[in-house]
Structure 1
C-alpha cells in the first residue's frame, strides 16, 4: 500500500486545543466553528491553502497590475 503524502503545513493541527466545530444547541454554521476560526489563525494553514489555490491554475498573477485574479472573474 502506498503511503499518502501530506503537507508539513498541516501538522499544526496536531497542536489544536479542544474546540467545538458545532456550537452545542445551535444549528451548524461554518463561520461559527471554533475549529475553523483556530485554523484560519494559523499561518501554516493559510500558506497551505494559498499554495494549493495558486498551484491549481484557478488564479493567475498579472505582472502589469501586480494583482492575482480568478480565471473566471467577470464571466457572468
Structure 2
C-alpha cells in the first residue's frame, strides 16, 4: 500500500483554507447581524447595509455547504 503524501498534503491544505474562510464568512455574517442590535451606531442605512452583507455571507456559506454535499453524493 502506497500513500501519495503530496496529494494528502494538498487535500489537507485546501480543506484547512476553505474551513477557515467559511468560518470567517459566518463570523462576518454574525457580526453584521449583531451590528443592528447595538443602539446608537449609524443610521437606518448602515443597519440595512449590515443586514444585507450578513445575509450575503450566510448565502455564500450555505452555497459552499450545498456544493460540498453535492460533491459527496455525486
TM-score (norm 2): 0.35
Higher strand fraction (1 or 2): 1
The answer to which structure, 1 or 2, has the higher relative contact order (CA under 8 A, 6+ apart) is: 2
**Pair member with larger Rg:** 2
